[in-house]
Amino acid sequence: MLRTVAIENYRSLRDVVTELDTLNVVTGANGTGKTSVYRALRLLADLVREGAISTLAKEGGMRSALHAGVRERGPVAMRLGFASDELSYAIDLGLPPLGPFHLDPEVKTEAVWAGPVLRPATLLAERRGPRVRTRDADGVWQAAPWTVGDHESLMSALADPSQTPELYAIRQQATRWRFYDHFRTDSGADARRPGVATFTPVLAAGGDDLAAALLTIERIGWAQALQDAVASAFDGSALLTTEDDDGGCRFALRQPGIRRPLGAAELSDGTLRFLLLAAALLSPRPPGLLVLNEPESSLHASLMPALAALVVDASERSQVVVVTHSPDLVRALRPQARLVELEKSGGATTIAGQPSLDGPAWAWPQR
């Protein structure tokens, strides 16, 4: 489980270090930096899973993503990291020199260490510029026989897990992080179409395989929890999942007072979105970390208690972060969640009620 997330000089997040619990709610007024927190978490995941420095290019490049406010003197740096009980990671990105790949940052340092606090004794792997060193089985530092390019993350160079087991382990840890931030619910959305009745324990990021995911939950997952959520959200309604003779599958909603079930194409955007969220939260293969960005979009306030119940239930199997500006959802989750309320002052995002020197223990690797 992640214990701490640290972000420096990414968009409005000039210096944000926050603790995380099993269930976390990130909230705040419009423009306070909620989306930046979500994007930073996704960027961290891409860096650790794939070494995907190019992710920043999609945001307009390093200069576009850098915090645009007043900076202290010293080298320009964007730094991101997380700490967990087992393995922790941080990366330091600098402005690239003028050249053919000016959108990509230059990686200055990376570090992987054991436990939540970076100290010389806990450091397991370190990259400075192109040079990499790791500890062997006896804890002795060894220079890696390979180097990495200025625009490449250390994780992108991993080839042999037996040579760098800690690096491989932390990458595997991040592969169990799951993000949902956009579901199509319009009339042409794939979520409204019949699916293939195949084992689908994880809902796709866009929700395209909703029918198969719901069928999987009904057959080998938390079927009763799914039906309870639907009944609570929609006044005693029941979800019906069926498989055709040709292997296709579909779902429908039987509602009290309506003679026939309503198929996926007939459901409202809000109803379909709730079913998408239910499929994500009731996954038979729970992620290590589940991050939802504004799950309340297009949902009526009356659905917030049912959604909150699903989120709380999911937090018993996964660490959950919900980024939301819905007061109703915040109220419903607050008794069980750690609340991270953002505010903005002088163009920089801060955490309400957390003085700058009172955050969790955190140290960045040195250049």
Contact 167, 113 (CB under 8 A): no
**Strand partners of residue 293:** 323
- Angstrom distances, CA of residue 246 to CA of 114, 117, 194, 198: 51, 55, 12, 12
Contact 304, 296 (CB under 8 A): yes
Give the global pTM. 0.93
**Do 308 and 242 lie in a common domain?**
yes
Phi/psi of residue 100, nearest 5 degrees: -70, -20
Contact 230, 224 (CB under 8 A): no
Say which amino acid occupies 305: P
**Do 124 and 257 lie in a common domain?**
no
Tally of domains in the chain = 2
**Do 88 and 217 lie in a common domain?**
no
- Angstrom distances, CA of residue 196 to CA of 211, 219, 251: 8, 14, 12
Q: CB-based contacts of 117: which residues, under 8 Å, 6+ apart?
A: 83, 361, 363
**Do 122 and 238 lie in a common domain?**
no
Residue 360 lies in a domain: no
**Helix (H) or strand (E) run with residue 232 in it:** helix 223-233
| Enclosing domain of residue 131 | 2-22+33-175+342-351
Residue 207 lies in a domain: yes
Residue 28 lies in a domain: no
Residue 54 lies in a domain: yes
In 10 A of CB 316, how many CB atoms? Answer: 10
CATH number at residue 278: 3.40.50.300
From first to last of its 367 residues, the chain has per-residue pLDDT tens of: 999 999 999 999 999 999 999 999 999 999 999 999 999 999 999 989 887 677 777 777 777 888 766 666 667 789 999 999 999 999 999 887 665 556 678 899 999 999 999 999 999 999 998 899 988 888 899 998 878 888 888 887 776 677 788 888 999 999 999 999 989 999 999 999 999 999 999 999 999 999 999 999 999 999 999 999 999 999 999 999 999 999 999 999 999 999 999 999 999 999 999 999 999 999 999 999 999 999 999 999 999 999 999 999 999 999 999 999 999 999 999 999 999 999 998 889 999 988 766 678 899 998 8
Residue 364 lies in a domain: no
How far apart, in whole angstroms, are the C-alpha atoms of residue 29 and residue 33? 9
**Do 243 and 347 lie in a common domain?**
no
Among candidates 76, 89, 91, which has minimal Cα distance to 152? 91
Residue 206 is encoded by which pair of tokens? 């866009």
**Do 81 and 160 lie in a common domain?**
yes
